A and B are shown apart, each in its own frame.
Chain A
Amino acid sequence: MAPPTARHSGEPTAPTKIVARDVSVFYGEKQALHEVSLDIPDKTVTALIGPSGCGKSTFLRTMNRMNDTIPGCRVAGRIEIDDEDVNARSVDPVLLRARVGMVFQKPNPFPKTIYENVAYGPRIHGLADGKAELDGIVEASLKRAGLWDEVADRLHAPGTGLSGGQQQRLVIARAIAVEPEVILMDEPCSALDPIATARIEELIDELRERYCIVIVTHSMAQAARVSQRTAFFHLGRLIEVGDTEDLFTNPRERRTLDYITGRFG
């Protein structure tokens, strides 16, 4: 009884950055995503919400081809970033991931110094000529992630010695050090306390001026606070997508209404 296509409401005002058309993902025989079609605008925060196991993380990972690392995973359909199909043979996933950064649920800084964590990306992609430039990139990234003031005096301390919230900001700094165009966030605050969460949400709001952000979140309140567009997934299908305010106050689909009012989840 699923409608053939999802309900789209409200046109995004910013230019479209990512276009997904009929994206299906299979883990072996099991189909996890069913023909998802979605436009994601640039310089905006798009939230993907839905109950556990509905495929939102799977969809997120198609955008930087992290599903390639899972054996037996197959992706069908088109995903275009700036009109370029990411699954095309000519596209190197290594370069793609320099354009599309990712922040994970549990903060995972490398067991290296804070400096080395942030410098790793620019170093392997050859983005800095010499130490001075690298220092500049590290400082700018940490400042933009809102962590500079706290760690400026201990850049050579291990990254794993920071608190959870600081580690997540470090990971964000690491991601933005390579100047990506898109930042994907997979439930970035679910392992953090409310104060750290609030800081990260502030940060996301600042970041959206420069980057296209897609965030998967379990918390509808967070989606309402942080995003401009929201997409609701259920059982591997996209049910509804629209401006956040509209979707939460006036959802068009029955299932969306049931989810956001807490009937299931």
Chain B
Amino acid sequence: MTEAAIPSGRTADADAVRADRLRSGLRRRYARERRFKLYGLLAIGVAVGFLVLLLGRIFDQGHTAFYAHSIETPVYMDPARIDRAYPQGTNFELLVAEQQLARMGVQDDAQGARAAAMRGLFSSELKFLAAERIQAEPELIGQTVRIAAPLADDADLYFKGEITLDTPAAQRRLSDEQIGWLDRMRAEGMVSSHFNSALFTRGDSTEPELAGVLGAVIGSALMLLVTALIALPLGVGAALYLEEFAPKGRLTNLIEVNINNLAAVPSIIYGLLGLALFINWMHLPRASPLVGGLVLALMALPTIIIATRSSLKAVPPSIREAALAMGASKTQTVFHHTLPLAMPGVMTGAIISMAHALGETAPLLLIGMVSFVPGIPHGLTEPTGALPSLIYIWENASERAFHERTAAAIMVLLAFMIVMNAAAVLLRRRFERRW
């Protein structure tokens, strides 16, 4: 079979050349494929790397915010200093500070500067704690009570290692003397740490150890509620109309182009719109969840419309035809068949656009939600804060302890996002039907 010509003009030689060509070509093709896969992996690696870096840094900075230190100390409730009828009037901090100094054998000076320095180590919450104790159990007056006195933010930071002796004394917030006392207390086993529940149960405060995210979380939640109530019906309704009922023509196309553009408009423009329309013209209360929710609803609307439209488009026409052929009217076809089948996509789009809206800060700036708001909101018309603006405020605060709390607040916001996105995935799975 060497020289014999195979029918159709092929020789064995030509076949060998062809086989060689195929083989070397194959090598190149496989090499290209491997390179392409490598590029893909690299791209994913870079993205994941950045994500890990980001989350790692945030966690690193923020995890210390979740616990706080306190001093377990016996306090003698001096009846001479405590008014039985009005315990809140007593300066408990000074009381505890003086007793602590005495216990450590430190002599106070004439101006009471040492007592003031010791007092500065304790949080102002101490007086509320002590006063509550006395109010609940007045018989404690005259006795010695063990109290877990929460520390002020600087002392707390010292125990977390944020403030060290390495910094020169002039730049430190704690004096050498105060650090010495703290070391002694730690050596005597008086220092304990506990979960920083204040972070989750209290609203914003100028004192870092008393500052919490609850006010902002509730503010954000109220805003999201308003956003959902407005944007969902409007968005899904508009998309249904545009996709199913509107006559196909130039006007519909024009509307569609405009909606697509609106989805790309910078969010701060929506803030300007909110300011002009809701606050200046309609005189709605500034910085309220109502206004915030309205502005975010406007922002979320184009995304919801686009997501709903594409889900509706994805419903196979055979189902629509089957329904119409049964004698279902246009509206019945849409609501009994098309919309239920499009539901997974609609819900995903809705939840994702709201998760997006949750994290927007720029529009909130313009409607006034970036001011200090202590306390927990109770309604839609009171001024409140929101999580993104809280993060902004804390980041700009001067107290060092807000550093870790900012990262903690970011973690809370991220947790919110993850929960919402997970809900989107779960709901999508549950409602997905096969046709």
CB distance from B327 to the nearest CB of A (A): 4
Q: Is B337 an interface residue (CB 8 A)?
A: yes
Q: Is A101 an interface residue (CB 8 A)?
A: yes
> Once bound together, how far apart are the Cα atoms of A125 and B332, in whole Å?
11
Q: Are A106 and B318 in contact (CB under 8 A)?
A: yes
Contacts known (A104-B322, A106-B318, A110-B319); A71 close to B327, Cβ less than 8 A: no
> Once bound together, how far apart are the Cα atoms of A64 and B322, in whole Å?
12
Identify which of residues 275-333 in chain B touch chain A, using a CB-to-CB cut-off of 8 Å.
318-329, 332
> Once bound together, how far apart are the Cα atoms of A108 and B341, in whole Å?
14
Q: Are B326 and A108 in contact (CB under 8 A)?
A: no
Q: Is A66 an interface residue (CB 8 A)?
A: yes
Q: Are A69 and B321 in contact (CB under 8 A)?
A: yes
Q: Are A121 and B326 in contact (CB under 8 A)?
A: yes
Residues of B with C-beta under 8 A to A98: 326-327
Q: Are A108 and B322 in contact (CB under 8 A)?
A: yes
Q: Are A104 and B321 in contact (CB under 8 A)?
A: yes
Contact of B326 among A106, A111, A124, A160 (CB under 8 A): A124
* Tally of A-B Cβ pairs under 8 angstroms: 60
Q: Is A178 an interface residue (CB 8 A)?
A: yes
Q: Are B325 and A110 in contact (CB under 8 A)?
A: no
Q: Are B319 and A108 in contact (CB under 8 A)?
A: yes
Interface of B is mostly: helix
By beta carbon, the residue of chain A nearest B248 is A71
Interface of A is mostly: helix
Residues of B with C-beta under 8 A to A248: none
Q: Are A111 and B322 in contact (CB under 8 A)?
A: no
Contacts known (A106-B318, A111-B434, A111-B435); A66 close to B325, Cβ less than 8 A: yes
Q: Are B326 and A97 in contact (CB under 8 A)?
A: yes
Residues of B with C-beta under 8 A to A14: none
Most buried by A among B248, B320, B321, B341: B321
Contacts known (A111-B341, A160-B434, A160-B435); A178 close to B326, Cβ less than 8 A: yes
> Once bound together, how far apart are the Cα atoms of A100 and B321, in whole Å?
14
Which bucket holds chain A's interface residue count?
20 to 34
> Once bound together, how far apart are the Cα atoms of A64 and B326, in whole Å?
10
By beta carbon, the residue of chain A nearest B434 is A160
Q: Are A64 and B325 in contact (CB under 8 A)?
A: yes
By beta carbon, the residue of chain B nearest A117 is B322
Residues of A with C-beta under 8 A to B323: 110
Q: Is B81 an interface residue (CB 8 A)?
A: no
Q: Are B434 and A101 in contact (CB under 8 A)?
A: no
- Listed in ascending order, the chain B residues whose CB lies under 8 Å from chain A are 248, 318-329, 332, 336-337, 341, 433-435
A-B contact pairs, 20 of them (CB 8 A): A95-B327, A96-B327, A97-B324, A97-B325, A97-B326, A104-B325, A106-B318, A108-B318, A108-B319, A109-B322, A110-B337, A111-B319, A111-B435, A120-B328, A121-B327, A124-B327, A124-B328, A124-B332, A160-B435, A174-B326
Q: Which 10 pairs across A and B sit closest by C-beta, in order of nearness? A: A97-B327, A102-B325, A98-B327, A108-B318, A108-B322, A111-B433, A111-B435, A121-B326, A94-B329, A94-B327
Besides the known contacts A94-B327, A98-B326, A108-B322, 12 further A-B residue pairs in the complex with CB atoms under 8 A apart: A64-B325, A66-B324, A69-B321, A94-B329, A98-B327, A120-B326, A120-B336, A124-B327, A124-B328, A124-B336, A175-B326, A178-B326
